Amino acid sequence: MLSLSFFSNNMASKTFRVAKIIFKRSQPYFCPVINGRSYSTAITSGDNEPSFLDSVQIYFNKAAKISGVSEKTLSHIKAPDCSLQVTFPIEVDDDKVEILTGYRVHHSRHLLPVKGGIRFSPGVDEQEVAALAALMTYKCAIVDVPFGGAKGGISIDPKKFTLAQLERITRRYTVELCQKAFIGPGVDVPAPDMGTGAREMAWIMDTFRQFHPNDVNSIGCVTGKPISLGGVRGRNEATGLGVYYGVREFLSYPVVQKATGLSEKIEGKRIVIQGFGKVGYWAAKFFEKNGAKIIGIGEKDCGAYNPNGINIEDLFTYLVKAGTFQGAPNVDIIDDTLKILELDCDILIPAALERQINLGNATKINAKIIGEAANGPITPAANDILIEKGIIILPDLLLNAGGVTVSYFEWLKNLSHMRFGRMTKKWDELGKSKLVELVENNAGRQLTESERKSIVQGAEERDLVYSGLEDTMVAACQETKSTAASKNIDFRTAAFVNAIQKIANVYEGSGIMFMT
């Protein structure tokens, strides 16, 4: 392990900043026993279950044993390549300075650039960021997005800062990334995560461009940007839409239908969603649009329940105005928000934080399918309990990969400097028009204007993004199902096996493992 620290004066605030870069190689993990099961982990949390980082390692180790990949390559894949920790000051009042800590972890640079979100949350620490970076590595591999995995964040509660302060924090963090070469369209391309959005991505891009004014591709240093600044249509809803596509695809498999007793149709399915942010809201919208009944939604302070189905847009509008579900019409309020997870339903979508389903509530889950829209919502011990109960788990590293998939599309758009569909839309419409005329002449009937428009209209950018996302998710789900069937394993382990094998092919095929 090599640790490098950088110190410099900050005359404006009369304080200092510290940046620590740590390059890591493989590390040993020991195996404690929890409730009679052996788990490969280094640190456990206070509730006697593995931490988020260790949970990821546990799932990895289980798949690694049956992956057919050599131990040498596995140890290289598992260990994060590089970790950056920075501290910097922010003036919160005229006479008060707060020292903030930010992180960026490159888990695997087998492919460049690395990709992963930036979150602003009080819970951000190096372990959480490292776990999320590892998931990003495996997630990108599963959906065949040619990125390595990364993640970053700042340990703050964004609600406690003004808009001006948040901008200064974001820009200062970006300066640190620029100075340490932890950002760039060919190096590391961040994206939004918890507590951040298009606004923060625009600040990051603008700051990066000030450091690289002559880089024609600098707009591609970050994704999730506003459309006017190089973003791609469909990015906001991408993760939620990917969740919908994934659940829909798995419902079409006879093996899932047999295990759950559910039909392949989304229509009529009773769905509960924990979390009503960007992911949960859009997942709910797409499920509702296609005929499902959203009977329960959980937020930070309480949950909303209606067995006949919740009107998603009405409840969301109320939440935006009131800041809570309390007092919302046409729903029953569940004061203990975690009880939402225990509602009887067909499909449960945890779309909030990690480790929400654990030893404390795993036996109380009453869903037939759990679709992990959040990162790491189920602990390893709970995962085993749910599988023993016969519940189908659609894993996070597959199901919520819609965000990074569409981020990949945005990055490609930025590097090509052209909107998707710009060169082909009118040509497609002309060809379709000629075909329609031929059909009309032979059929002896003219189409109505609305019929003609629906057939002839060329694909807009959002249409192409949706199509690419759907194709990507369907292919990844089919690969996961195939591996699960051939090895007689659960879908999570199958997804990890696929990811490990794809990453190993890059390492071994390129000769990275043999470099000194």
Closest-CA residue to 120 (of 96, 90, 94): 90
239 is in an annotated binding site: yes
Which parts of 320-449 are beta strand (E)?
A: 332-334, 347-350, 369-371, 392-394
Strands 347-350 and 270-274: parallel
3 is in an annotated binding site: no
The identity of residue 366, as a single letter, is N
Q: How far is it, in rounded angstroms, from Cα 408 to Cα 415?
A: 11
* pLDDT computed for residue 79 by the predictor: 85
Q: What is the pTM of this model?
A: 0.85
Q: How far is it, in rounded angstroms, from Cα 123 to Cα 103?
A: 12
- Domains annotated for the chain, with CATH where assigned, are 2-229 (3.40.50.10860), 238-399 (3.40.50.720), 419-513 (no CATH)
DSSP 3-state assignment of 100?
Answer: strand
* pLDDT computed for residue 120 by the predictor: 95
Q: How far is it, in rounded angstroms, from Cα 110 to Cα 73?
A: 12
Task: Determine if residue 393 is left, alpha or beta; phi over 0 gives left, psi from -120 to 50 gives alpha, anything else beta.
Answer: beta
Q: How far is it, in rounded angstroms, from Cα 79 to Cα 23?
A: 10
| Residues identified as active-site | 151
The two structure tokens encoding residue 346: 């067909």
Question: In sequence order, what are the residues at sequence separation of 6 or more whose Cβ sits closer than 8 angstroms to the Cβ of residue 269?
Answer: 251, 262, 287, 291, 292, 293, 346, 347
The two structure tokens encoding residue 185: 């369209």
Q: How far is it, in rounded angstroms, from Cα 96 to Cα 18?
A: 19
115 is in an annotated binding site: yes
* pLDDT computed for residue 437 by the predictor: 83
* pLDDT computed for residue 512 by the predictor: 63
* pLDDT computed for residue 422 by the predictor: 80
Return per-residue pLDDT of the chain as tens, 516 residues: 333 333 333 333 333 344 555 544 433 333 333 334 433 333 334 457 888 888 889 999 999 999 999 998 998 888 888 999 999 998 877 778 889 999 999 999 999 999 999 999 998 999 889 989 999 999 999 999 999 999 999 999 999 999 999 999 999 999 999 999 999 999 999 999 989 999 999 999 999 999 999 999 999 999 999 999 999 998 889 999 999 999 999 999 999 999 999 999 999 999 999 999 989 999 999 999 999 999 999 998 999 999 999 999 999 999 999 989 999 999 999 999 999 999 999 999 999 988 899 999 999 999 999 999 998 899 999 999 999 999 999 999 999 999 999 999 999 999 999 888 888 888 887 888 888 888 878 887 888 888 788 788 877 888 899 999 999 999 999 999 999 999 999 999 999 999 999 999 998 887 765 554
DSSP 3-state assignment of 372?
Answer: coil
Q: How far is it, in rounded angstroms, from Cα 289 to Cα 274?
A: 19
207 is in an annotated binding site: no
